[in-house]
Amino acid sequence: MTLHGSRYRPGPLVWLGNIAATCLVLFFFQKILWLVVPFVLALIIHYLLAPLKLRLVLRGVSHDAAATWVSGLAFAAFALLATFGFPRLLGDLVNLHGTALRYVGGGLRLLADALSDLEGRFTFLADGSARQMLEVQLGSFFEHFAANYLPGIALGVAAWSPTLLLAPFLAFFMLRDGWRFRRLLLRAVPNAYFERSLYVLDAVDRTARQYFVGLLQLTVLDTLCLAVGLWIIGIDGALLLGLLAAVLAWVPFVGSVLGCVLVVLVAATDFPGQPGVAYAAIGLFVAVRLLDDFVFMPLTVGKSLNMHPLLTVLMIFVGGAVAGVPGLMLVLPVLGVIMVIGETAGLLLTDPRLRARHAHARALEQRRVWRDLTLD
């Protein structure tokens, strides 16, 4: 953005303000943790459907009618999918307890086998009876796991999952009333700052759209790569596993590890006594992670956030420290949006000409309202 021909560069104060504002926003999100996932999903749905709505508006359909049509069609498509997929999903959920324990058992067997193998190679491990210790400790943990932890986890998931229903609801209103909100905001802006505000709103919208659409593209690419790799290795349900791991990767660091653990558990359980399959799955995960970080990410999500890699990594840690897992998920898009707002606010506040124009307009307004008022 230029100001009277010269390019504006934010100073250290603006940068500090951006980082502080990001931490505050994350702190606020921490308090409404349950809203984060439906809100992120709603934003993704909104940015996916917005081009369709725009097409209808460009054909002369009103904003409201276009939003209703597009949301209706999307809901119908989802309902169709749910009708066919729900019975199977319900069946899987009923067996969740048994399935979870089976896969955890498979993972433990793999770990025990790996330790046995290591004990055979390194005598100090055999002397310390590492495998025996692990079996005792994990055995006692999982003996009480089903009774102590599983009901709590299941209850938590059951209580939290209805909030996902908020996602389509939020997405519909974002689609229907987003333009009204934009107009409302712009109407409140004084004339002197109007054009700059247009720029900010466009930039914020562009940053958020690129981020969330990029996230979706990244998920699709990750899913495809993982699914193809797992299918080649010979693991069943490769597409579903790939999708789950790709969605888990939305949470930086932690999500990727969880995804990897999930795939390794499945590989170890479905192929008992063949640790090579599990190791191949780990290798595949590392390869996809590298592809993700160095090829896919810069092509998709990275394009939206024009920031230094060091700052990106530091902010992920800060986000995690301030707001836990939601902080990890949200820190980058929040920082991206706040950077645009902060830089423009810096530009507006440090532009004496815009301030003078605003003061001039206020003086004109003052004179207009006082014109026919005289004191006797």
Partner 1 sequence: MRLRLREEKHRRDGQRLAGSELFGGLGERELRVVEAFAHERRFLAGEVVFDAGEEGQALYVIVAGRVAVHADSQATALAELGPGAFFGEMGLLDDVPRSAQVRAVEPSTLVVLPRTDFERLMASHARIASSISLQLARHLGRRLRAMLGDSA
In the complex, least distance from residue 300 CB atom to partner 1, rounded to whole angstroms: 22
Contact criterion met (CB below 8 Å) for 2 and 8: yes
Positions 196 through 235 that interact with partner 1 (CB under 8 A): 196, 198-199, 202
Per-residue binding letters, 43-82, with partner 1 (x by CB under 8 A): -----------xx-xxxx-xx-------------------
CA 226/CA 336 separation, integer angstroms: 29
Decide whether 199 or 317 has the Cβ nearer to partner 1.
199
- 39: nearest Cα among 157, 190, 163: 163
Positions 4 through 33 that interact with partner 1 (CB under 8 A): 4-5
Decide whether 63 or 109 has the Cβ nearer to partner 1.
63
Positions 157 through 196 that interact with partner 1 (CB under 8 A): 179, 183, 186-187, 191-192, 194-196
Residues in binding contact with partner 1, number by CB under 8 A: 32
Decide whether 97 or 353 has the Cβ nearer to partner 1.
353
Positions 277 through 336 that interact with partner 1 (CB under 8 A): none
In the complex, least distance from residue 318 CB atom to partner 1, rounded to whole angstroms: 32
Burial string for 99-131 (b: 16+ CB within 10 Å, else e) reads: ebeebbebbbebbbbebeeebeeeeebeeeebb
Decide whether 102 or 182 has the Cβ nearer to partner 1.
182
Told to check if 375 binds partner 1 by CB under 8 A, we report: no
Question: Where does the chain have alpha helices with state H?
Answer: 12-31, 33-58, 63-94, 96-121, 123-127, 130-148, 150-160, 166-187, 194-233, 238-248, 254-270, 275-291, 297-299, 301-304, 309-349, 352-370
Decide whether 65 or 155 has the Cβ nearer to partner 1.
65
Angle at which helices 166-187 and 63-94 pack, to 10 degrees? 150
Decide whether 2 or 374 has the Cβ nearer to partner 1.
2
Told to check if 364 binds partner 1 by CB under 8 A, we report: yes
Query: What six digits make up the tokens of 99?
Result: 């399935």
Burial string for 78-97 (b: 16+ CB within 10 Å, else e) reads: eeeeeeeeeeeeeeeeeeee
CA 116/CA 241 separation, integer angstroms: 28
Told to check if 371 binds partner 1 by CB under 8 A, we report: no
List Cβ neighbours of 53 (8 Å cut-off, separation of 6 or more).
63, 66, 67, 70, 175
Told to check if 352 binds partner 1 by CB under 8 A, we report: no
CA 331/CA 328 separation, integer angstroms: 6
Contact criterion met (CB below 8 Å) for 22 and 334: yes
In the complex, least distance from residue 74 CB atom to partner 1, rounded to whole angstroms: 21
Decide whether 294 or 370 has the Cβ nearer to partner 1.
370
Decide whether 58 or 373 has the Cβ nearer to partner 1.
58
In the complex, least distance from residue 46 CB atom to partner 1, rounded to whole angstroms: 17
What residue ranges bind partner 1 (CB under 8 A)?
1-5, 54-55, 57-60, 62-63, 179, 183, 186-187, 191-192, 194-196, 198-199, 202, 353, 357, 360-361, 364-365, 368
